[in-house]
Amino acid sequence: MSNLDRVYEITENYHVGPKRERPEPGDAAGTIWEATDPGPAGATRRSLSDGDRWIPLVVEPESPRATGEYHLTADDGFEGIQNVIDRTGGNVVIRLAPGTYVGRELTLEHGVVLVGSGRNATTLKLEDGANADLVTTPDLPDRNVMECTLRDITFDGNRANNASGNAVYGAFWNSRFVDCNFYAAPGNGFWLAGSTASTDDNQFRGCQFLNNRAAGLRGGGNKRSYPSVGVARVDTNWFGYNGGPAVTARGESWKISDSKFYANGLDGDPTIEFDRCSYSNVTGCDIHSDYPDHPLILVSASKGVESIGNQIKSNDLRGNYRSAVGCLVDGNDIVALQIHDNTIQSNGRSGSGIVARETGPGSFVDCSFRNNTFVGTTTGRAVRLPDSWRTNGNINAGRID
Per-residue pLDDT reduced to its tens digit, 240-253 = 999 999 999 999 99
Residue 322 region by backbone torsions, left for phi larger than 0, else alpha for psi between -120 and 50, else beta: alpha
Position 213 scores a pLDDT of: 97
SS3 of the chain: the string is CCHHHHHHHHCCCEEEECHHHCCCHHHCCCCEEEECCCCCCCCCCEEEECCCCEEEECCCCCCHHHHCEEEECCCCHHHHHHHHHHHHCCCEEEEECCEEEEECCEECCCCEEEECCCCCCEEEEECCCCCCCCEECCCCCCCCEECCEEECCEEECCHHHCCCCCCEEECEECCEEECCEEECCCCCCEEECCCCCCCCCEEEECCEEECCCCCCEEECCCCCCCCCCCCEEEECCEEECCCCCCEEECCECEEEECCEEECCCCCCCCCEEEECCECCEEECCEEEEECCCCCCEEEEEECCECEECCEEECCEEEEECCEEEEEEEEECCEECCEEECCEEECCCCCCEEEEEEECCCCCEECCEEECCEEECCCCCCCEECCCCCEEECCECCCCEC
- Could you tell me the pTM of the whole model? 0.83
How far from the centroid of its chain's Cα atoms is residue 388's Cα?
A: 38
How many other CB atoms are found less than 10 A from the CB of residue 334? 26
Position 40 scores a pLDDT of: 55
Per-residue pLDDT reduced to its tens digit, 143-182 = 999 999 999 999 999 999 999 999 999 999 999 999 999 9
Position 67 scores a pLDDT of: 55
pLDDT at 56 over 90: no
Pairing of strands 92-96, 112-115: parallel
Q: What are phi and psi of 14, to 5 degrees?
A: -115, 125
Per-residue pLDDT reduced to its tens digit, 3-14 = 444 344 334 577
Side by side, which strands form the sheet with 217-219?
106-107, 135-136, 168-170, 190-192, 217-219, 247-249, 272-275, 297-302, 323-330, 352-358, 383-384
pLDDT at 102 over 60: yes
More confidently predicted of 36 and 383: 383
pLDDT (average), residues 258-272: 93
Q: Percent of the chain beyond pLDDT 70? A: 92
Alpha-carbon span 83 to 399, nearest angstrom: 64
Dihedral over alpha carbons 15, 21, 22, 26 (to 10 degrees) = -120
Position 11 scores a pLDDT of: 46
Non-local (6+) Cβ contacts of 232 within 8 A are 192, 202, 203, 204, 219, 249, 251, 253, 254, 255
Non-local (6+) Cβ contacts of 92 within 8 A are 68, 69, 70, 84, 85, 111, 112, 113
* Size of the chain, expressed as the number of residues it contains: 401
Pick the closest to residue 277 from 200, 337, 323, 324 (CA basis): 337
Using pLDDT thresholds of 50, 70 and 90, give the confidence band for residue 383. very high
- Which is it for the CA torsion 119, 124, 128, 130, positive or negative? negative
Alpha-carbon span 372 to 395, nearest angstrom: 6
Q: Which of 58-67, 114-123, 209-218, 290-299 has the lowest mean pLDDT?
A: 58-67
- Averaged pLDDT of the chain: 90
β-bridge partners, 331? 302
pLDDT at 21 over 50: yes
Position 256 scores a pLDDT of: 98
258 exposure class (CB count in 10 Å sphere: 0-12, 13-18, 19+) = middle
pLDDT (average), residues 255-269: 94
Per-residue pLDDT reduced to its tens digit, 303-350 = 999 999 999 999 999 999 999 999 999 999 999 999 999 999 998 889
pLDDT (average), residues 371-383: 94
